[in-house]
Amino acid sequence: MIITCPNCNKQFEIDNSLISDEGRDLQCGSCNHVWFYKIEEQKDEVLKLNEEIISKKIKTNEEKIDEKKQSQKKVKSEINNEKKEKISEKKKNKTSFKNTANKGSKFFSYLIVFIISFAALIILLDTLKTPLIKVFPRLEIVLFNLFETLQDLKLFIIDLL
């Protein structure tokens, strides 16, 4: 039999033979609370449910739920229709603008990436010029010509401005 301490609600399993019909004092092993416990007789009668009351309650609850679902569906469908209309209007307005802006922005983004990569390569070559020339002696002429060309381009751009 399972007994629950009224103080801390801890449950204990106790053999039925340890508790007499008159009852006895028990002490909780967790909180040391002492209380009197008597075995209560359990009724053997089976409880009967009133099926009519339960079925009526279920029907009314189901009807309420159905009504709520229908009203929610109507509201959701109205909201979805409004959203679809707004989205279609926005798409119509933005399609022509996006096509031209998208092509131009892609070109400039690729151009910026190319310029940054080229500048990083030049900085890397300038930094590692001496070790590269030691390993590849003929590379000195190529690097010298590259840096002279870059210097000429720099002067050309300054003259344009």
The 10s digit of each residue's pLDDT in 71-109 is: 777 777 778 778 878 877 777 766 555 555 667 788 888
Residues 106 and 139 in one domain: no
Q: What is the pLDDT of residue 51?
A: 58
Count structural domains, the chain.
Answer: 3
Distance of alpha carbon 34 from the chain centroid: 51
Q: Is residue 134 part of a domain?
A: yes
Q: What share of the chain is helix, strand, coil (3-state, %, to 5)?
A: 70, 10, 25
Q: How far is CA 63 from CA 37, 48, 66, 67, in A?
A: 48, 26, 5, 6
Domain co-membership, 31 together with 73: no
Full residue range of the structural domain in which residue 100 is found: 51-113
Determine, yes or no, domain membership for 44: no
- The verdict on 109 and 71 lying in the same domain is yes
Strand bridging mode 24-27 / 34-37:
antiparallel
Q: What is the rounded distance in angstroms from the CA atom of residue 23 to the CA atom of residue 158?
A: 108
For residue 28, is it within any domain? yes
For the full predicted model, state whether its pTM sits above 0.75.
no
Distances in whole angstroms, Cα of residue 101 to Cα of each of 49, 94, 98: 73, 10, 5
pLDDT mean over 144-161 = 91
Q: Rounded CA gap, 95 and 98, in Å?
A: 5
Task: Judge if 78 and 108 occupy the same domain.
Answer: yes
Residue 120 lies in a domain: no
Nearest to 29 by CA among 49, 13, 15, 44: 13
57 and 95 housed in the same domain: yes
Residues 94 and 59 grouped into a single domain: yes
Compute CA distances 78 → 66, 68, 74, 87, whole Å.
Answer: 18, 15, 6, 14
Assigned domain for 86 exists: yes
Answer whether residue 139 is part of any domain: yes
Confidence of residue 43 (pLDDT cuts 50, 70, 90): low
Residue reference for tokens 């009668």: 45
When the pLDDT of each residue in the chain is averaged and rounded to a whole number, the result is: 80
